[in-house]
Amino acid sequence: MRHMRLTDWQKLPVSLTELCIDTTLRCGQSFRWRKSEQGEWSCSLNGRVLSLRQDQECLHYRAIFPAAAVSLGAANTPLTPPPSVASTSFEPVLQDDEGTTALVKHYFNLAPNLTDLYEQWSSADANFKKKAPKFTGVRILRQEAWEALVGFICSSNNNIARISQMVEKLCMHYGPYLGDFDSKPYYDFPAPQALTGKEVEHSVVNKQHLRELGFGYRAKYLYQTALMVAGKKDDWLDNLRNPESPLLGQLAKSAGDMPEGGREGYRKAHEELLALQGVGPKVADCVCLMGLGWGEAVPVDTHELCIDTTLRCGQSFRWRKSEQGEWSCSLNGRVLSLRQDQECLHYRAIFPAAAVSLGAANTPLTPPPSVASTSFEPVLQDDEGTTALVKHYFNLAPNLTDLYEQWSSADANFKKKAPKFTGVRILRQEAWEALVGFICSSNNNIARISQMVEKLCMHYGPYLGDFDSKPYYDFPAPQALTGKEVEQHLRELGFGYRAKYLYQTALMVAGKKDDWLDNLRNPESPLLGQLAKSAGDMPEGGREGYRKAHEELLALQGVGPKVADCVCLMGLGWGEAVPVDTHVWQIAQRDYKFGKGKHSSLTKATYDAVGNKFRSLWGKEAGWAHSVLFTADLRAFSERLVAKIEVKEESQDVKAELEGAAAEVETVVKSESTEQKRVKREFQEERSIVKIEEVVVKKRGGRQPGKRRRKA
């Protein structure tokens, strides 16, 4: 029988507002804490079992020490405790050992004043202020980085209860056995070397054994990551730590200034973690935050971002999806390639050796025959800007789960639709690209708009190179569309009357200051690398900056209220902008009782009334909520609304193409006196266009075509 010594209860004065262990230990940070029927929490840490309980004013703790730990799962020991290892007896020790108090303070990260931080976050964020009082005392733990890494690799497509079971199995089969406490065995966390697959007495520690234990595909990731980490220097993970949050017993040092994309040390740690198996951006951020002390890390899952929905719902028209399920687009002089699983967004950047600028005033409209496919050289390390670009472009700062909850509590219709359309974010596109894309959207559908934008880039944008046998071009600058031949050439390319609008708008924008469009941005949603500033209070019609941007955009050719709102929302960051087209007008009639009395048709007054209704309902991010309902109304996503196949369809990629999406109408306002008639007329004409395009799509799909009916 092994002897252990049990310290007397110690207490640490700390209020529930500064630390609440019932919340902190159950919120998905650590997966090894157990709560007894008596309300005590226990876990093995640093060679001891730590036991905790808490009242309103104090955290009470004690440590249980084994006489000697039996290391199991190492290269020369059995995988499970031998029968001779019985329950250990405990001898009370009245004095605390010197290290346990320091361990408790360090592990629970007690140095920051949480009350002050909550006040700071509440003053900056009304939503946080609303939620925080019910969840005080939530602190980020200072875990061992290796334990955090393993735990969050296990988190892929998983829940907290199952992750906890997996981590418990890992400890039981591969961790050092400490002893039994309250009739339960305790093991310390296994080192990377314990998972590297050397032969032992009863088995081989490898991915196959982990599969037998129920780890599934995560077994391979854990095994390969253990091999990689064990092959590095012992202090490799610790050297990725935030120096302001050092290891126990070490002195803190400054980590430098904080730019938008996070400090240099955080970006370096995040990038190095991405090289490990089973580690995507979300897992890397979890480890950075909860294992390495980088407070700026923000983990994102598919409830926070779903690229299969966000990139197909009519915001950007340049993303392509491959047969392998990867999305790609040229952004900021590189080709960005993305894929996503349930837990992670995976991304890589492909950089050309040199970009060939085409489409300028003195260059040919199409790549000359001498411009062959550019070869891409793999770059193992990320450039410093790509991670920041991804976070910026997908607008990852707002907590989308909280926003969905806010909109659902205010709107029963949103609450009904939203669960099937999670992760829809408003992109932070370049304002010029958004402007061009939505001028092309007049009387058009998403598939055709995408074709037009692709032609624009191919004929006037800087050529980057070929990737996966497809050419990529960056988006053309306004100056590239100012040549005298441009309008006629665009008509030849199939742009129709939009050719004139694009050409004239390019002339107007090129004639203004270079930063004219950027100066219309919402200061709370600045350009990449710039600091955010307040945009002021939110009245019914939107903030002053939004109204100013909307008005200035209306002076451009081909820009009516809807296009101006699209650019404000998706190119300038004004979340209150609510574009109203046929989809949104139909939603307003069907679900929000518009279409009667003075709002019986889509006039300027009705347009404003719909926007104000949604702004009053959803707040200053009304455009985000509107986009969720807009997406739910697209035919390409209609199968998600069919209850019988809902589960099946949400678990796989949607195969329906966007070619048959209903067309979007744009109202081009020439004067106040003709505006109402024009809006109504274009709305009626659009119904006819939709009818005809539906028949064309059926023919292309190989179905039996019906008669072409025009609704009078």
Q: Specify whether the CB–CB gap between 211 and 260 falls below 8 A.
A: no
The Cα-based distances of 34 to 41, 44, 551, 592 in angstroms read 5, 10, 59, 49
Q: What gap in Å lies between CA 32 and CA 51, rounded to an integer?
A: 12
Q: Can you point out the beta strands (E) in 597-678? A: none
Rg of the chain, C-alpha, whole Å? 29
Q: What gap in Å lies between CA 151 and CA 182, rounded to an integer?
A: 25
**Where do the structural domains in the chain lie, given as residue ranges?**
3-231, 416-700
Q: Specify whether the CB–CB gap between 137 and 24 falls below 8 A.
A: yes
pLDDT of the residue at 683: 36
User: What does 81-97 look like in DSSP terms, one character per residue?
Assistant: --TT--PPEEEEESSPP
pLDDT of the residue at 266: 95
Could you tell me which CATH class the domain 3-231 is placed in?
alpha beta
Strand partners, 613: none
Helix (H, G, I), strand (E, B) or coil at 311: coil
Spatial CB neighbours of 311, under 8 Å, sequence gap ≥ 6? 319, 321, 327
265: Cα within 13 Å, side-chain hemisphere: 22
Q: What gap in Å lies between CA 617 and CA 547, rounded to an integer?
A: 19
What sign does the CA torsion over 466, 471, 475, 478 have?
positive
Q: What gap in Å lies between CA 33 and CA 40, rounded to an integer?
A: 10
Pairing of strands 3-7, 89-93: parallel
The Cα-based distances of 181 to 42, 171, 340, 476 in angstroms read 9, 16, 42, 68
Spatial CB neighbours of 297, under 8 Å, sequence gap ≥ 6? 262, 266, 270, 284, 285, 286, 288, 289
Q: Compute the C-alpha angle 621/623/626, nearest 5°.
A: 120
At which residue do the structure tokens 């079971």 appear? 165
At which residue do the structure tokens 């949400």 appear? 650
Q: Which two tokens stand for residue 505?
A: 């708008």
Spatial CB neighbours of 582, under 8 Å, sequence gap ≥ 6? 662, 663, 664, 665, 683, 686, 687, 690
Spatial CB neighbours of 643, under 8 Å, sequence gap ≥ 6? none
Q: Which two tokens stand for residue 527?
A: 């350009």
> Nearest to residue 670, comparing CAs of 561, 577, 584, 545?
561
Strand partners, 336: 329, 349
- Taking the chain (712 residues) in consecutive chunks of 10 residues, what is each chunk's mean pLDDT? 62 95 95 94 92 95 72 37 40 56 95 95 87 94 96 87 94 91 88 73 57 88 93 94 94 90 91 90 91 86 87 95 91 92 82 53 38 44 73 92 92 91 95 98 94 98 88 96 97 97 98 96 94 93 97 97 98 97 90 79 90 96 95 74 36 30 33 38 35 30 37 34
3-state secondary structure 392-456: HHCCCCCCHHHHHHHHHHHCHHHHHHHHHCCCCCCCCCCHHHHHHHHHCCCCECHHHHHHHHHHH
Q: What gap in Å lies between CA 33 and CA 38, rounded to an integer?
A: 14
The Cα-based distances of 464 to 330, 334, 356, 489 in angstroms read 8, 7, 6, 22
Our CA dihedral for 648, 651, 656, 658, rounded to 10 degrees, sits at: 140
The letter for the amino acid at 157 is N
pLDDT of the residue at 209: 86
- Catalytic residue chosen out of the listed positions 282, 562, 613, 620: 562
Helix (H, G, I), strand (E, B) or coil at 6: strand
Instruction: Determine whether 11 is an active site residue.
Output: no
Q: Which two tokens stand for residue 664?
A: 């979007």
Q: What gap in Å lies between CA 310 and CA 308, rounded to an integer?
A: 6
Q: Which two tokens stand for residue 566?
A: 């699209």
Pairing of strands 3-7, 58-66: antiparallel
| Topology (CATH level 3) of domain 416-700 | Endonuclease III; domain 1 (1.10.340)
Q: What gap in Å lies between CA 705 and CA 707, rounded to an integer?
A: 7
216 conformational bin, left if phi > 0, alpha if psi -120 to 50, beta if neither = left
Q: Can you point out the beta strands (E) in 543-593? A: none
